[in-house]
């Protein structure tokens, strides 16, 4: 059996052994210029992996620069190290999402950093990473979280200040429930 292992290892091309660790490092380190997202600002976003080559814990340093000066620094846990830009407060300016986890049913969570246009900086929304599959609904100015589980359901949240607030309204999505009708009830109850 040991001779078999030696033969396999001898057949592995040297370039794979040399370049694979470099590929992994590059994949986990991103530097993004955001000129097309924030055209009047000179903002760059950096997400750098701080794990060791054999470490299974994917931690990252998130750094946001404006004019080469740090305006926000945070250490985050991210399963895949993905960054997205979407408006989550209805001001028409995209905010920053950093992927957090994906659970067993592929429900993704994110850290949210809202762009503060007045101060030209970002603020982290506390506990946002507890919201699964978040989507901002600009009509009702809330965040909808459609969760895939044993019984799928929609949960509603509101961003207030620097926190996300659970509106304590859950709509189950199953055959015995008219999902559209229940959603309309939620709108009537929550929008007064």
pLDDT per position as a tens digit, 76-133: 999 888 999 999 999 999 999 999 999 888 899 999 999 998 999 999 999 999 999 9
Q: How far apart are CA 144 and CA 132, in angstroms?
A: 9
**Taking the CB of residue 174, how many other CB atoms lie within 10 A of it?**
10
Angle at 188 between CA 185 and CA 192, to 5 degrees: 155
pTM of the model: 0.81
Residue 120 near residue 98, CB atoms below 8 Å: no
User: N- to C-terminal Cα distance for the chain?
Assistant: 73
């Amino acid at each position: 059996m040991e001779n078999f292992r030696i033969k396999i290892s001898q057949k592995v091309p040297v370039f794979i052994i040399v370049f694979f660790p470099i590929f992994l490092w590059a994949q986990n380190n991103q530097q993004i210029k955001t000129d097309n997202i924030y055209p009047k600002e000179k903002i760059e976003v950096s997400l750098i992996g701080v794990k060791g080559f054999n470490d299974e814990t994917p931690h990252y340093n998130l750094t946001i620069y404006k004019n080469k000066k740090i305006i926000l620094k945070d250490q985050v846990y991210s399963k895949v190290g993905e960054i997205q830009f979407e408006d989550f407060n209805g001001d028409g300016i995209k905010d920053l999402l950093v992927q957090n986890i994906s659970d067993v049913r592929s429900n993704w969570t994110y850290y949210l950093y809202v762009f503060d246009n007045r101060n030209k900086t970002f603020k982290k929304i506390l506990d946002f990473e507890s919201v699964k599959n978040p989507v901002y609904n600009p009509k009702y100015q809330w965040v909808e979280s459609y969760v895939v589980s044993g019984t799928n359901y929609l949960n509603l949240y509101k961003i207030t200040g620097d926190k996300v607030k659970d509106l304590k309204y859950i709509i189950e999505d199953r055959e015995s429930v008219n999902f559209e009708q229940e959603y309309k009830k939620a709108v009537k109850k929550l929008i007064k």
